[in-house]
Structure 1
């Protein structure tokens, strides 16, 4: 029988610890709050840990907990370690996803990827998985999440699948989950996705002058941005995120900072005379208070990627915005006469050979300046001259009735 009882506990007012027996104590603070404390000795080390507030844990419940913990110590377990382990195993998938995101976010140099990672999870994974304890996230539930988008949004679904697996493996590594992600079973439970044809489909390089000519007939921020993209062979995100402090009009160089580049390295883009004219026109239309070269409807936010794609769709063209980089690369290979390394440098492609990458010290800036000037001059040539060289099966002329 312990030394405490309900009447005595109610009467205690003085701060201090009041022993019930066998390591169980009632702790009373200066503010008058009362809680249970258990003292244990493990491997010669004495430690105290709380059992909860008196408001939540009665005297009889506290004694039962104390007995359970004493039995645990007798059997060779550390109650504090076991309690922490049990608490961690009660973590939800949402908590694990947020922890994974915060841990890995500093290593993701692509700002767009950082923004999309959690938004994608919130849209597709967390509504179903977020409140589940990690141990309950199994293959059937993951398949249930993916089934709704696996065939209709295949690329997004694959990303969600990968991110769910990464979160579960992260949780396993932290001891929050006893097993790794069941992705092999998930893959077996999903149907085969149809092959995506025409991904990053590129306009034949011979047809690009005709398209640029049509772009120039009507002016908008979106069309200016697309013209700049074609002239510079830049990625959509690089163009849409361009700021005025990146443009050196005197030297005709646009320097894209490392944090906006796919490879994580700053990239200098020599501007042809024609490209510089596009940027100058954008400067004439500059909105006060915005540092973006091509702002969206909200001046301090960039154009959406769909703005540029919509221009192609309005012409009923089956090409992608990213495909203009391929158009440029094909033209450079067939028409420029310059080494392929120069065109690859213009596209800011990483060097796959690590040894070559370690020894290459040049960025071919002056050769790229000549290359980009030749490309712009080709773009503004009478397009009928280029059209005659096109493959008749894929020619821009097939769609010319949409442009007239």
Structure 2
């Protein structure tokens, strides 16, 4: 069978032309054409397209046909082989940013508020995706991750750890999608990065014995003073205090919505806090300044900021911060009461047991906590407590 030449192809009229060994050119009336490879495998004749005459030259077509003839000689179907190669190539083209968003979507149900606040995704968005987001996830290795996290590995240790942990979840998600990834790539990168020099510092707290003296300084019936008083008396975090609404208070119980609780604590249920006599008095004073249903509104709009109470303590020359009063309360419980561990932890809405244990334990120790918080309030107000204004 005669071989085709470039000149023959150029001058060929519409029709089918054989180059030999199964390679055929189908010429069209518009001057274009299509290369086809014909082969016999397991007693069955098949044809596969190799590409158009424009992008695929005669030389290219012969090389492609030669490679496919080798597969046929080995009993491998070239059409199925090419489809498999295309699927693998498509799988490996998944960009990290796309897989990361898909992983985030799959985890939303387990995140507080469906992750709307962005805290789960932000370490990736700020520190990983700007550098690696447009790279296929299957091509990311430990050197890539090392170079990405190295600038913050020691200076922002906690953030870097979160970014690495989130990236590990994304890599696991990619594996679940069937992508060709190294499940150990993040662990390898951590070994290359080494131990972090950054020391995690706890939020400064006030010794519980000094709390009454400080509480006595909060004598003005201002939003900031009253917010700090309620924070100290209840052991609540800053957010539930700042976003407290009138409808959350019913008699001597404050029910904090799950959305205002921290992380998985809020993902499960609302949290009830029994109110001491002093806490009720503070709430009554705060009601005079209520705006839009919020007990502690800002002087401009919305509620007081997270830093408002901290700035007040700074101006008094204190190292302690508002969140530290939770530590003050917890230490007081340990040193001055006989409160069982589980009750003391419940005072701060800590989850010290597994979800299964919490499911079967149908109590939040409300009555026992009420006695303890009343005792705590009596202690806090023991040094010339501020009078109602």
Correspondences of 1:150-165 after superposition (within 5 Å): 150-165=153-168
Correspondences of 1:203-352 after superposition (within 5 Å): 203-217=206-220, 219-220=222-223, 222-245=224-247, 247-249=248-250, 251-261=251-261, 262-263=264-265, 264-288=268-292, 291-295=293-297, 299-300=301-302, 303-352=304-353
Distance 1:92 1:172 in 2: 13
In 2 relative to 1, CA 102–111 (structure 1 residues): closer, same or farther, beyond 3 Å? closer
Map of 2:8 onto structure 1: none
1:193 matched to 2:196? The reply is yes
Gaps of 5+ in 2: 1-16, 18-24
In 2 relative to 1, CA 276–166 (structure 1 residues): closer, same or farther, beyond 3 Å? same
Report SS of the residue matched to 1:117. coil
Contact 2:108–2:114 under 8 Å retained in 1: no
Cα deviation digits, residues 35-75 of structure 1 (max 9, x gap): xxxxxx99x9x9x9x999x9xx96859x9699799778973
Report SS of the residue matched to 1:7. coil
Distance 2:181 2:195 in 1: 30
Contact 2:205–2:324 under 8 Å retained in 1: yes
Contact 2:274–2:366 under 8 Å retained in 1: yes
Distance 1:92 1:313 in 2: 47
In 2 relative to 1, CA 153–91 (structure 1 residues): closer, same or farther, beyond 3 Å? same
Map of 2:101 onto structure 1: 98
In 2 relative to 1, CA 93–219 (structure 1 residues): closer, same or farther, beyond 3 Å? same
Correspondences of 1:1-400 after superposition (within 5 Å): 1=17, 2-5=25-28, 7=30, 60=56, 75-76=76-77, 77=80, 79-109=82-112, 115-194=118-197, 196=199, 198-217=201-220, 219-220=222-223, 222-245=224-247, 247-249=248-250, 251-261=251-261, 262-263=264-265, 264-288=268-292, 291-295=293-297, 299-300=301-302, 303-352=304-353, 357=358, 360-382=361-383
Gaps of 5+ in 1: 11-18, 24-40, 385-404
Report SS of the residue matched to 1:255. strand
Distance 2:56 2:254 in 1: 74
Report SS of the residue matched to 1:305. coil
Distance 1:366 1:231 in 2: 16
Deviation at 1:303, TM superposition (A): 4.7
Distance 1:95 1:297 in 2: 42
Deviation at 1:381, TM superposition (A): 1.4
| Larger Rg over CA atoms | 2
Distance 2:356 2:97 in 1: 42
Contact 2:103–2:170 under 8 Å retained in 1: yes
| Count of residues in Structure 1 that have an aligned counterpart in Structure 2 | 347
Cα deviation digits, residues 120-171 of structure 1 (max 9, x gap): 3222112111122223322222222222222222211211121122212221
Relative to the length of structure 1, the TM-score reads 0.71
Alpha-carbon RMSD across the aligned residues, in angstroms, is: 4.0
In 2 relative to 1, CA 125–105 (structure 1 residues): closer, same or farther, beyond 3 Å? same
Report SS of the residue matched to 2:120. helix
Contact 2:156–2:198 under 8 Å retained in 1: no
Distance 2:273 2:335 in 1: 22
Distance 1:230 1:112 in 2: 29
Contact 1:169–1:181 under 8 Å retained in 2: no
Relative to the length of structure 2, the TM-score reads 0.73
